[in-house]
Structure 1
Amino acid sequence: MDSKATQTLLNELVETLKEGQKGYAEAMTDVEDADLKDTFKQFAVQRSGYINEIEDQMFKLDLKPDESTSVTSKVHRAFINLKGLVTGKDRESILNECERGEDVAVKAYQAALKAEGLPSALQSVIEKQYQGIQAATSTIKSLKSAA
């Protein structure tokens, strides 16, 4: 994979992570349920850490993080409706929106994992993060089915 394609792929992952981090941070401050607050805080911190890891890999590969909003995030903002749902404090609706956002993140990571020719260190970071995204998705689905 050439450096331009790698840069694009990583910028899309970073943008997906930023959307998730913002969505969870916003939900965490507005939701009343203590268990959801803690879960959302954990996932916001997780996404922030993932952003740092990817950007660190980009630095090592002499690639630049894109500071503008990507086309992908303009087309599908995973957590765009979360603020409105949180103000209604409907637990099931909030979890539905979080699940939708997690599904977007899973698809982004699956696409990244299909990319060929990534440096092994970068591939390892993406695989580790994908496992964390899958665990977060499972947690959201469990909370949703318990709601």
Structure 2
Amino acid sequence: MQNEKTVSVLNDLLNITNDRIEGFSKVEDKVWDTYSPLKSDYDEMVNQSQTMKAELMSLITQRGGDPDNTTSTAGAIHRAWIDLKNSFSGDKAESTLENVVFGEEAAIDAYQDALDSGDLCPESSRVVSDQLHHLKSSYSKFSNLNEMKN
């Protein structure tokens, strides 16, 4: 039973990680004209997300589960909202990066909830805790956008 709970929680985190990857694909290159200091951090976040995805899929498989390699419904709705909001936004670069920050906050909350649930096995807790650390580090780099403009 514990394994099923662990797999379920890990699959939820996999969906959230896939949401991040999908969300990152919405950031257009023109954003970096205004926020060039964040470009390397952003690239690192994209790469880190791919690593996190692989780690979660491995943990799920090791526990006899099938990775749910999809995005969440909430993430799809949020991305549709971002598209709509950006179509009316005056400052698309800032608005786009504010959405990155919002997504990172949601991911941090989900990861913390997963750790607090008590449903993760020790190895999974360690990996999820490490991933949460990376999320918080990324979030801190993007949380003060106004200070980052050229």
Fold equivalence (TM over 0.5):
yes
Contact 1:50 1:129 (8 Å CA) reproduced: yes
Tell me the distance in 1 between the aligned counterparts of 2:100 and 2:82: 8
Instruction: Give the corresponding residue for 2:54.
Output: 52
Contact 1:113 1:126 (8 Å CA) reproduced: yes
Alignment of 1:11-90 (within 5 A): 11-27=11-27, 29=29, 31-33=31-33, 34-69=36-71, 73-77=72-76, 78-83=78-83, 85=86, 90=92
The residue type equivalent to 1:64 in the other structure is D
Structure number with higher relative contact order (C-alpha < 8 Å, ≥ 6 residues apart):
2
The unaligned stretches of length 5 or more in structure 1 are none
Instruction: Classify the secondary structure of the residue corresponding to 1:26.
Output: coil
The unaligned stretches of length 5 or more in structure 2 are none
Contact 1:27 1:40 (8 Å CA) reproduced: no
The number of aligned residues is 144
Return closer, same or farther for 1:68/1:117 CA change in 2, 3 Å cut-off.
closer
Identity across the alignment (%): 23
CA RMSD after TM alignment: 2.6
